[in-house]
Amino acid sequence: MKPLSSANVESELSYAYLHAVASAAGVSCQIAGRHEDAAGVDAKLAAWGPFPSGGKRREVDLKVQLKATMQVPPEVGDAFSYCLSGIPRYDDLRSEAVSTPRILVVLFLPPMASEWITHTDCALSLHKCAYWVSLRGAKASTNKTAQTVYLPKKQRFDGAGLLALLSRLSRNDIPQYEEAGA
């Protein structure tokens, strides 16, 4: 059997990161099936209230597109720049014609694979972290293969950030995309 490619390892680590954060936050996480994957959905999250800051909904669903990269992200103001491959994926994420909100979660890994994970008797650590962005309402791309998107530094994908996002969604406050520097 051949070992996984570096890209496949990065992908698996992004799923592990998502599961760890969702589990710690008390949120259900389910890997999407192949049909949803074809529609740009890698995982589905579900949470039940009450939510911080209240809300109208007691149950909230969220779909996630996962990406991972070893590239050091360029900083543009208060955001990280990321080149999202595949305009159909970009269009799926920016669509306002979907009933369940979608976000892009990008895991930024250290440049050296040997630094991705460390483990001791006391801890298993996945190094670096992920950020999320809603591309809902973003402008149509004029590119044919990829689109640069901006992930706000304040939108770290961690337990507190996930619960804050789900709380917003429970109030029907669906985040809209904001271009960096806008």
Block mean pLDDT (10 aa), the chain, length 182: 85 94 96 81 94 85 96 93 94 93 95 86 87 96 95 96 94 90 52
β partners of residue 134: none
Q: What is the pLDDT of residue 20?
A: 95
CA distance 14 to 84: 15
Identify the burial level of 43 via C-beta atoms within 10 angstroms of its C-beta, where 0-12 means exposed, 13-18 middle and 19 or more buried.
buried
Q: Give domain limits for the chain.
A: 6-170
Q: According to DSSP H, which parts of the chain are helical? A: 6-24, 34-38, 87-94, 159-170
Q: What is the pLDDT of residue 126?
A: 80
Number of C-beta neighbours around residue 174 at 10 A: 13
Q: What is the pLDDT of residue 182?
A: 52
DSSP designation for 128:
S
Q: What is the pLDDT of residue 181?
A: 53
Q: What is the pLDDT of residue 136?
A: 96
Q: How far is CA 115 from CA 21, 108, 111, 118, in A?
A: 20, 12, 8, 7
Per CATH, which fold does 6-170 belong to?
Trna Endonuclease; Chain: A, domain 1 (3.40.1350)
Q: What is the pLDDT of residue 42?
A: 94
Q: What is the pLDDT of residue 167?
A: 93
